Structure 1
Amino acid sequence: MSPIAHRPAGPALLDLPGQTSVAEGPLDLNGMYLAHHAFRRDLASFARAAAGTPVPEREVWRALGVRWERFGHVLHHHHSAEDEVLWPQLLDLVDGQGDADGRATLEAMETEHHLIDPLLAGCAEGFAAMAERPEEGTRQQLAGCVGRTREVLAHHLRHEEEEALPIVQRLLSQEGWDAVEEAAGSGTSIQRMRFLVPWIADGLTRPQLDAAFASVGNVFRVVLWGTRRRYARETSLAFRFA
């Protein structure tokens, strides 16, 4: 009998568009799934925008650069919390069980993170160049960089959902998961929250939003109410041609 059979049932977990697996178990992983949904959604929009935004549209390119900076900051912070808090805990646990396959999965998670950061930086440079000196050749290079980033991150998110998160549910304690969520939420300024909350909520149905608020706290309803209009205006400008 697997170790998870002895653990209590957990909350209802989200199954969002693009998500490839739901890791059932005692821990509330909905914050993870919400972030993954937002990463996938934005990268699809960035890919369309990079390919479709006319070269002379400097205002739109500037808005895209700002949106990419925010997107990249959230993604980097998300991965840092995993690298610094989540994977080290799990590596100790799988090693304690002599689980070589589990160690290989977790080491792959870290390796995949290292592939993503240079791509984020390269795309940021491309968006900045389009805002300053818009050229068709630069736009084409940027579109390729965004497409590659989307491809690499899609593989990573699928790998994490299908192989790493089941390890989380099987082995990690509630205290261990609380430490991960604390790290994920640390250092988030009020200004960042004004973007982060409507960004997470973007594209969710009412039942999905209700489940999200149940996981992250109803205070986020108030933040969403106060930030969604500005977020919608900024998103509409950045992705005007997406």
Structure 2
Amino acid sequence: MVLHRVFRREIPLLADLIEGTAPGDRQRLSTIADHLDLILDALGEHHEGEDDLLWPKLQERTVLGADVVARMAGQHEAIAGALATAANLSYQWRTEADRDSALRLADALRELDRHAAAHMDDEEELLLPLMSDHITPREWFEVGERGRRSVPKSKLLIFLGAILEDATAQERHQFLAQMPAPARLLWRTVGTRLYARTTTRVRRPSGSIPRT
């Protein structure tokens, strides 16, 4: 699932970047923290959307074992708790800009990554095979639209780039084909360069000179 790859890639990467940020470097901190906000908000909305729009339908239309339902519910609760912890520690890091708050936040993100990765593994193994038979294209679209609306307009092209970064050529073609023609043009003429600049700025090693 292409969206899952965003979270699998970005959360551990952000943990490493935060850990490597020099104390007091508020410009660098702000760059990483802004990107972290985007990823955490998207992950939270993704799981809330599943809770509201997918889980009830799958439970109604399929026979899911009680152990699967209980495990998935527990995973969602663990992710929600880890997200709340990471969000609180992110605020502290922004405020204090010190080594201790950076390390606490990095640890919290690695804990979030463990919970999210286990849940996404189960989703991809157990639930995705059921989706094509029990979730309509319109229902899938509603889930995607809810996620899209949660992303600030100024960040839409950046998040689109994050989705497409690890997509296969076929997945990229299918994903872009679902977008209106003006949006595809905007991605190709503006979005690709914007995403390249953003990833260069966010992912540069600590202490290196940013590209202009």
Q: TM-score, normalised by structure 2?
A: 0.81
Equivalent AA in structure 2 for residue 136 of structure 1: R
The alignment-based identity, stated in percent, is 21
Instruction: After TM superposition, list the pairs within 5 Å mapping 1:6-155 onto structure 2.
Output: 33-94=1-62, 99=63, 101=65, 103-155=66-118
Higher mean displacement: 124-133 or 113-122 = 124-133
Tell me the CA shift for residue 205 of structure 1.
Answer: 5.2
Amino acid at match of 2:144: A
Aligned to 1:235: 199
What's the offset of the Cα at 1:206?
4.3
Q: 1-side partners of 2:86 and 2:126: how far apart?
A: 28
**8 Å Cα contact 1:87-1:106 kept in structure 2:** no
Contact 2:47–2:76 (Cα < 8 Å) also in 1: yes
Equivalent in the alignment of 1:222: 185
Shift of residue 184 of structure 1?
A: 2.7
Q: Is the 8 A contact 1:60 1:240 kept in 2?
A: no
| Residue ranges of structure 1 left out of the alignment (5+ in a row) | 1-32
Aligned residues: 201
Cα distance in 2 for residues equivalent to 1:205 and 1:55: 38
Match of 1:183 among 112, 132, 143: 143
**What is the DSSP-based 3-state SS (H/G/I as helix, E as strand, rest coil) of the residue aligned with 2:81?**
helix
SS of 2:204's equivalent in the other structure is coil
Q: Does the CA contact (< 8 Å) of 2:11 and 2:39 recur in 1? A: no
TM-score by length of 1: 0.72
Considering fraction of residues, name the structure with more helix.
Answer: 2
Unaligned runs of 5+ in 2: 207-212
* RMSD over aligned Cα atoms: 2.4
| C-alpha deviation, 1:141, in angstroms | 1.0
Equivalents in 1 of 2:120, 2:31: separation in Å?
Answer: 26
**Counterpart AA for 1:217:** M
Cα deviation, 1:169-228, whole Å, max 9, x if unaligned, reads 3x4053xx42232133136163342332122122445454224324x3364532322223
Contact 1:85–1:183 at 8 Å: present in 2 too?
yes
Structure 1 position 164, deviation (Å): 1.7
- The residue that corresponds to 2:210 in the other structure is none
